[in-house]
Structures are given as structure tokens and as C-alpha cells.
Amino acid sequence: MLSRVANSLYWMSRNVERAENNARILDVQLLQMIEASDEELARGSDWKLVYEICASTETMEQIQSMPSYQEDQLVYYLAMEESNFNSVASCVKVVRENARISRDHIPDDYWEAWNRCYLTLQEMDQQSCTVKEIRNFLEQVKLTSLITQGIVESSMPRGVPYQIIKIGKWLERAEKTARILNVVCERTLERSFQTQSEDYYYWLAALRMTNSYNAYLKMNPPQMKPKKVLSFLIANTNFPRSIRYCLAHVRQAVDELEGGKISHYSWELYAKLDQLQKEFKEVSMDELNSDEIMGFLNDFQNGCNEVGHIFSKTYYLSDSETKLAESSQSQSMGAKGITTMKYKIEHTNIFKYDTIVDQSMNSIRLKPRTDECQRLLSYRADITPASLTKEHIDIWGNHVETFFIAEHHQHLEVKTSSIVSIQKSPFIHRIDYSPEMNAIFHSQLFGEHYLAFLSNTAYTYLTPEQMSQIDRELGTMKNPVQYAIDVMEYIHEHFSYDGDSTTVHTKAEESFTLKKGVCQDITHVMLGILRSKHIPARYVSGYLYVGENSALVGDAASHAWVEVMVPGIGWVGLDPTNNVEALENHIRIGVGRDYNDVSPVQGVYRGGSQSLDVKVSVSLMDQ
């Protein structure tokens, strides 16, 4: 699975848990305001407790210092405020967006449930909604979270997507439980200094905020003993809300993800999880005082943040420069780094014949692909003269539509309209080429599996003399990932884009000598170099969104670039024409060994010569 999809699943799962937790915490606070007696009201409506858990006391004080302050504003900020990335509404939006991006990897019911919740949010008048309306929305969020957790457990195969969802869920839950207990410990300690007595109300709130009250009563007397509550929510091995239980399930999911093997890149994650588990086994709640418990919980929260950081770094879910502090309560911003673009493409091919023709049999490859990072939302093909099309998937996984026109005609128009959503993030420059990846690269199985993309074709062949020139310039290939990047940079530096210098039939050997050509020629040259070094590489055809004030270069009709197979990772796109990684501007239609495998329109007919006019429009759509 590509890291960008894993990134979406991970942040989707964390924000599902965060939305439910924050909805429950806020709902408990609103309920206690209703239930509390007069002498308990001051404590029961203690917004400082809630804001320390879900936001910050500084934010609370800013709201309370407003000239027209009302208590409802405190509720609104935690539930609906757009500028608060941890508000329930913000979390729901992040969940829905990431679920949309990764729909191919989650059950349809999961997406539909969160989309319904999102639509409910959109229908609300968020600026003037009442507390009652907010409570109804919080109830829907909690219910949707529980339903979708059930959908995951009952409908998802136990593969990589499932394990990533579980890691996000259990890590977020463990951190939130620790945060709740830490804040409650601090608040009760302050209270005990004032009244010289334990305050059961905060411990009751802690149990309700973690949805643990009923389970606690089944295992303990109906007394809010701090050590009992702490032991239950920290060390219990059978309750799904306890920190120890959550941590064990994070470790289990990582184990399933790695197949039970500690590899070069995952040892740091294993080491940190094992360290935290060891600390839990060695600690005894009964032997710690309040300050020591708060210190333990603080350390654990930092440990959770560090686990999240290591996990993201290990599986390329975030930039390596991301600071550890960013893994705290504002972590939903991780989803903001995802770039999602939506395009409308209109592609028209007009064939004009010198004489009347008939018996025209054609195949077109113009339907964009759907995969981990690109989703085809709609597609339509219109053919004039009218003809029925029959679709099949070719050996390379491309959509091919065939049609036959028996009647006489002197004009053929093939027009396609597509809407595509693309979600990508910079990737290849963050890959650390490990010994395990090197072993895969040199294995016989790897070579046999990608043999079709290791053999040069007539379009991609380069002479030994030309390859010797490359060797003098770039040196020995030791790291195929870095070498592919170096080749891309070399070609971009030494070749110029010239639409008049070559034809559709020009071979890489000729383009190399000319040191110029269009994207098709430049791509063929790069394929020839990489394959000569036994690096699997394939030709990609598609479209390039250039936009305004862009430095990107591409054909007005279509674009081409290279995809390199990175051992243990997957296909990664490189655009030598522009010296960039193929990201959200690159819309993929087909892949193959060379241009001949992905030619947009191919056919035969009976009649005279022809001329072709091609028009392509790629426009950016609102999300």
C-alpha cells in the first residue's frame, strides 16, 4: 500500500476516535450542568477541566474575556468552531475527507455512515445553532463512531488497511485516556488542598468521559475511590478503554502489520512500544502518590506522541522534519498536509478523411485509472458516427474501449469527458533505501515478476556507447531509488523540450542524439537508461494540469512520464520533462512498456489518407 493511502487511513481512524471522545466529554459536561446540585454546580460546570482536556485554559480565558461572553460560546468552540482543529465538527470533516480518499480500502457502509454525519453537519446553521441542536449532533457523532467501529470489525479483511486503522484508533484512545486522568488528578489535587477531602465528582466525570462508568461498577463497589478508578483505567488488561489494553492492541496491530518480524525500519517502533509496556508492568498504582501518578501519565502521553511520530516516520506518513510537539492535541492537522485535487478533462480526437471510408475498427485508451491515489468519479465517451463500445482490461490493467463503424463516413469524432480526484503527497525523496529493499531488488523473484518492465523495446533501446556516456556522467548505480532521481535530473538538465524535432515514431536512440524532443521522447530515454541498469520502469500516459503561472511543461494534448518500481514500496512516478515527482498535477490514464502500449487511439479502416486534430482541456474543479 502506498504511504499516502496509509496516511489517509491512519488520520481517518485517529479523528474518528477523537471526534467520539470529544463529543462524549462535551456531552458529559452538558449533562452534569443539568444534573448537579447547587453546591456541586461550581464543580460540575467546571469548564477548566474540559478545556484542559480538549483545548487549553488560555483559549477558555480568551472566550470568557469577550465583552458579550455567554457560556454557550464555550460549548460552541469545542463542538463547532472551524478554527479549532480539534472541535467535533472539524474532526468529522477530516474523517469524511480521508474516508472519501481511501474509499477503495474501506467498506462502503463506513463511508456512507460518515458522509451522512457530515451532511447533517452541513445542514445545520452552525453559526446560530442552539445547545440542544449541538447535543443532538454530538449524539449522532458518538453513534456513527460506534456503528463504523462495528462495520470495521465485521466487514474488513484483516489486511494492511485494517491494521493501520486499528493502530490509529488504539493510539488515540490511549493518549486521550491518559490526558483525562492526568487533568483529573491535577484538579482533584488542587481541590484536596482547598477542602482537605477527596472530590468524587471529578472521578465520576473521568469514568463518564471514557465511557467506563457502567463497566467500573460491575467490577468495583459504587464508590469513587481515586486509586480504584486509576487502576481500572490505567492497568486493567480486559477493559477496552484502559491504557494498558490500548497499548497492547497497538503492539499487536504493528506485529500483524510486520508479519511478526522486526525489520531494519521497524525496530525503533517496536523498541518504543516494548519500553512503554515494560513501564506499565513495573508500575503499581497503589504505591504511587498523586504527584508520581501525574508524572507517570505525563511521561506516557509523551511516549504516545513519540510512538505516533515514529510510526509516521517509519511508514512515511509525515515529513521527517515534523516536530514531536506537533503530535499532540492538534494532530488532526496531519490530515491538512494531504493535497487533494479534482479535475475535469475533455479530450476530443477529430479524424478527417480525404475520401469516404468504411469498415472502421478502433480501440481507445482514454479512460483514467482508479487506484490508491487516483479516483475516477465519472466518465463518458461520445462517438460520431454513433457506435456501441465494448470495454475490456488489457494485460497492463488499462481500460480499453473498442468500436466498429461499418457505414460510410468521412469524419470520425471521439470525445471523452472525465472527472478525476487525485490525492498525493511527496514521497520518493523520503525513502531510505534499506538492506531489506536491496535484498528484494537483487532477488530472482523480483526480476522475474517485473521482467516486462526490465526489457527494452524498440522505442526505449539505447546503444552501448550511449549508456557508456551515461555511466561517465552518473557513475555506478548502487541505490536504484537515488539513481532514478539522478537520471531524471540529468535528462532534465541535458535535454530540451521541442515539439517540432521529433515524431510519434521517434525512438530513444534518436532522441538521445538530438538531446531534445517531447515528453514521449524524454520518457523513452529515461526508461532505456533505467532498464539497462535492471531497474523496473514503465511508461505512463495521461494529462498534466499546468494551470496559470506554472513552470511545468507538457503537451497540449497529453503527457507522459516514468514510474519506477521501488522494492517493497510500489510504483512511484517521476516526470523527467519537468524534473519533479509525479504528484497531484499528473492524471494517469494508462501504463505499459512504451508509447505503443498506451496509444490513445488505434484503428484500421478501408479508404484514403487522414488528418487528425486533437483538443484537450484540463480544468481544476472546486472540492
- Residue 385 confidence (pLDDT): 94
Could you tell me if 550 and 531 lie in one domain? yes
For residue 154, CA distances in Å to 42, 158, 256, 340, 441 come to 44, 10, 18, 30, 37
DSSP 334: G
Could you tell me if 50 and 178 lie in one domain? yes
- Give the burial string for 375-404 (b: 16+ CB within 10 Å, else e): bbeebebebeeebeeeeeeeebebbbbbbe
Is there a contact between 121 and 89 (Cβ–Cβ < 8 Å)? yes
- Which amino acid, residue 414? V
Cell of 18: 477523537
66: burial class by Cβ within 10 Å (0-12, 13-18, 19+)? exposed
Tens of pLDDT along 415-458? Answer: 999 999 887 666 677 787 888 888 889 999 899 999 999 999 99
Residue 193 three-state SS: helix
Strands 339-364 and 610-620: antiparallel
CA dist 481 and 486 (Å) reads: 9
- DSSP code string of 105-148: GS-HHHHHHHHHHHHHHHHS-TTT--HHHHHHHHHHHHHHHHHH
For residue 277, CA distances in Å to 283, 303, 318, 328, 404 come to 10, 11, 25, 20, 67
Could you tell me if 275 and 419 lie in one domain? no
Mean pLDDT of the chain: 87
Could you tell me if 420 and 432 lie in one domain? no
List beta partners, residue 358: 606
Tens of pLDDT along 71-111? Answer: 889 999 999 998 999 999 999 999 998 898 888 899 999 99
Tens of pLDDT along 596-619? Answer: 999 999 999 999 899 999 999 999
pLDDT bracket for residue 63 (50, 70, 90): very high
Could you tell me if 150 and 63 lie in one domain? yes
CA dist 347 and 543 (Å) reads: 10
Is there a contact between 608 and 357 (Cβ–Cβ < 8 Å)? yes
pLDDT bracket for residue 2 (50, 70, 90): low
Q: Among 337, 360, 389, give the residue marking a domain's end.
A: 337
- Residue 202 confidence (pLDDT): 84
Could you tell me if 153 and 256 lie in one domain? yes
Q: Is the peptide bond before 385 cis (omega within 30 degrees of 0)?
A: yes
What domain count does the chain have? 3
Could you tell me if 155 and 25 lie in one domain? yes
Could you tell me if 300 and 435 lie in one domain? no
Tens of pLDDT along 457-478? Answer: 999 999 999 999 999 999 999 9
pLDDT bracket for residue 5 (50, 70, 90): confident
Using the predicted structure, report yes or no on whether residue 44 has a pLDDT greater than 80: no
Q: Among 337, 364, 381, give the residue marking a domain's end.
A: 337
Could you tell me if 93 and 164 lie in one domain? yes
pLDDT bracket for residue 332 (50, 70, 90): very low
CATH number for position 387: 2.60.40.2250
CA dist 479 and 492 (Å) reads: 20
Tens of pLDDT along 152-208? Answer: 999 999 999 999 999 999 999 999 999 999 999 888 887 766 655 556 778 888 999
- Give the burial string for 462-500 (b: 16+ CB within 10 Å, else e): beeebeeebeeeeeebeebbebbbbbbebbbeebebeee
Could you tell me if 362 and 262 lie in one domain? no
Of all helices (H) and strands (E), which one includes residue 391? strand 390-393
Q: Among 337, 368, 397, give the residue marking a domain's end.
A: 337
> Which residue has better confidence, 522 or 310?
522
- Residue 553 confidence (pLDDT): 66
Using the predicted structure, report yes or no on whether residue 574 has a pLDDT greater than 80: yes
Tens of pLDDT along 372-416? Answer: 778 898 999 999 999 999 999 999 999 999 999 999 999 999 999
Tens of pLDDT along 527-573? Answer: 999 999 999 999 999 999 987 655 566 655 689 999 999 987 788 99
**Location of C-alpha cell 472502421:** 360
pTM of the model: 0.61
Using the predicted structure, report yes or no on whether residue 1 has a pLDDT greater than 70: no
Could you tell me if 402 and 480 lie in one domain? no
Range of the domain at 165: 3-337
Q: What is the 3-state secondary structure (H, E, C) of 262-307?
A: CCCCCHHHHHHHHHHHHHHHHCCHHHCCHHHHHHHHHHHHHHHHHH
CATH number for position 555: 3.10.620.30
Q: What percent of the chain has pLDDT over 70?
A: 89
For the ranges 47-56, 188-197, 426-435, 485-494, the lowest mean pLDDT is seen at 188-197
pLDDT bracket for residue 289 (50, 70, 90): confident
- Residue 331 confidence (pLDDT): 41
DSSP 68: T
- Give the burial string for 105-143 (b: 16+ CB within 10 Å, else e): bbeeebbebbbebbeebeeeebeebeeeebbebbebbbe
Is there a contact between 573 and 561 (Cβ–Cβ < 8 Å)? yes
- Give the burial string for 349-370 (b: 16+ CB within 10 Å, else e): bebebeeebeebebbbbbbbbb
Could you tell me if 258 and 235 lie in one domain? yes
- Residue 370 confidence (pLDDT): 86
Of all helices (H) and strands (E), which one includes residue 526? helix 519-532
Is there a contact between 345 and 422 (Cβ–Cβ < 8 Å)? no
- Residue 36 confidence (pLDDT): 53
- Residue 238 confidence (pLDDT): 92
Using the predicted structure, report yes or no on whether residue 234 has a pLDDT greater than 80: yes
